[in-house]
Each structure stands twice: as structure tokens, then as C-alpha cells.
Amino acid sequence: MGSTYQMTLVEQYELAENVLGFRFSLPDTSFQFISGQFISLQIPWQQQIIKRSYSIASSPLLAQKQGLLEMSVALVEGGRASQYLTNMQPGDQLEMMGPYGRLILPEQLPSRIVLVGTGTGIAPYRAMIPELKQLAKQDCQIDIVMGVRTPSHLFYHQDFSELAAEFTNVHYWVCFSRQEVSDSIFDSEHLHLNNHYTSKKSYVQTLLSELDLNPENTIVFLCGNPAMIDAAAVLLQNEKGFPIKQVRREKYVLSSS
């Protein structure tokens, strides 16, 4: 069971089409988490509290050193937490509980880690960036696979591009499900950064199918859309021979309340 903490909104900003970034301050320095985990926001809604889970998109170092926590929220039309969070102003307070979740890097290093996220499902991997740098220095091969509809839905692109630019054993893939992508799109939207990514028109599952993955030395993380996670997990088991324990999953299932 996680504890309850009070957070204060520092700022809210647009990350991509229909995706807002949130930065909260944590007056309580006792909040500790492992990168990859999520929190449960306690949203006041019509005299009740509804609970909604969100992955932490910033590293534990930012929380320890500056008392800050970041999240990315894909706005759902008519969604209650989506509306509440959109209307929050800097200085407003919000309760959260946590941390929760087991989508965390293993203590025993595999020689390859594949991190797959659709939409805001990429957030936990952004929180892992300082650790991923350490793993890359220890020769671990890292593939970050981001799935979004179109370039306007892409975010945290610069963070992952920079990581891939720093290490030859880190590969960053972007899969656009709805749009053929040319480099000029990246240039025009200032997203282009030294070509340290590979963009494709495909679903993340299609890319996984194309990658040469050895289940004996590889762990795959899947985060985000539940349908993607189910399809990718079946593919990894049936096509690539992965035992299910080497496929770590965090499904962004919708709340029933």
C-alpha cells in the first residue's frame, strides 16, 4: 500500500496534440519511487473522490534533488480526470497515493532491453533515462519503441533522440500508425535531431516482429494501450519464443468508476 501525499501544481504545458504535461512539487521529501512506477491521483469530482493512475514521467533524481514530479496526460473527451486536470491552475493542490507498479528495470542485467510504449505509455521510460545511461555504459543494448498516430502526437522525442545520439548501443524507433513520414515533417516541426531515430509507418507490433530478438538474453517492456500489449505479448510468445516472465507489462486500463 502506498501512502498519501499532497502535491502542488507548478505548471501545465502542451506536450503534443491532446497531451498535456504536468509538473508538480512535492513538499513531502519522504516520497520515494523507482523509475517506471505510477501514482494514483485522488480527483475531487461531484462531492466524491475518483482515483486515476498516471505513470511518473520524471526520474527519481528530480524528485530527490528538486522535489518535482512530472506526468503526461492524454486528454479523453468527456473524461473526468482529464477535465479536472486541464482546469487546474499553478498553486492548486492535489492528493496522490503511491508509488505502485512493477514495470521496473531488473536487478539482473539482460544483454538487451526493449522498451515499448504507445502514447503516454512512453512516460515510464523517460523516468528511466539516467538508469538507461548507466546500462548503456555497461554494454546493454537498448531499444526504445514509441508508437503514436502521427508526428503531431509525438512527445519526449528530444529526450530519447539525445539518448540514442549519445550511445551507439541505444536505438530509438518511432512507429506512426496513421501517417507515412518523411524527414521534412520532422524538420518543419523542429523535431529532427541528428537522425538518431528510425521512423516507420507501422504499428509497434510490426516493428517487434521485424526485430531480431533472442529470448535468451532479452527482456521486453510493454506499456500503454491494452490492445497493443495483448497483441505484442502474443506475438513475442508465439513468433519469438519469449517466456511470458520476460515480457513485463503495464496496461493503461480505463477505470470502472
How far is the C-alpha of 164 from the C-alpha of 166, rounded, in Å? 5
CB of 126 to ligand FAD, least distance (A): 10
CA-to-CA dists, residue 251 to 31, 54, 222, angstroms: 24, 11, 8
Residue 2 as a binder of ligand FAD (CB under 6 A): the answer is no
Residue 81 as a binder of ligand FAD (CB under 6 A): the answer is yes
Strand, helix or coil at 162? Answer: helix
Helical (H) or strand (E) element with 229: helix 226-238
Residue 125 as a binder of ligand FAD (CB under 6 A): the answer is no
Pattern 165-184, binding to ligand FAD, x per CB under 6 A? --------------------
Torsion of Cα atoms, 150 then 152 then 175 then 15, to 10°: -140
DSSP 2: P
Residue 155 as a binder of ligand FAD (CB under 6 A): the answer is no
Residue 252 as a binder of ligand FAD (CB under 6 A): the answer is yes
Cα torsion 152, 158, 160, 164: sign = positive
DSSP 153: G
Using the contact rule CB under 6 A, the part of the chain among 167-175, 204-212, 231-239, 247-255 near ligand FAD is: 247-255
Using the contact rule CB under 6 A, the part of the chain among 67-75, 129-137, 197-205, 212-220 near ligand FAD is: 67-75
Using the contact rule CB under 6 A, the part of the chain among 10-18, 79-87, 147-155, 240-248 near ligand FAD is: 79-87
Residue 126 as a binder of ligand FAD (CB under 6 A): the answer is no
Identify the burial level of 225 via C-beta atoms within 10 angstroms of its C-beta, where 0-12 means exposed, 13-18 middle and 19 or more buried: buried
CB of 38 to ligand FAD, least distance (A): 5
Residue 78 as a binder of ligand FAD (CB under 6 A): the answer is yes
Site residues for ligand FAD per CB under 6 A: 38, 52-55, 71-74, 76, 78-82, 120, 123, 250, 252-255
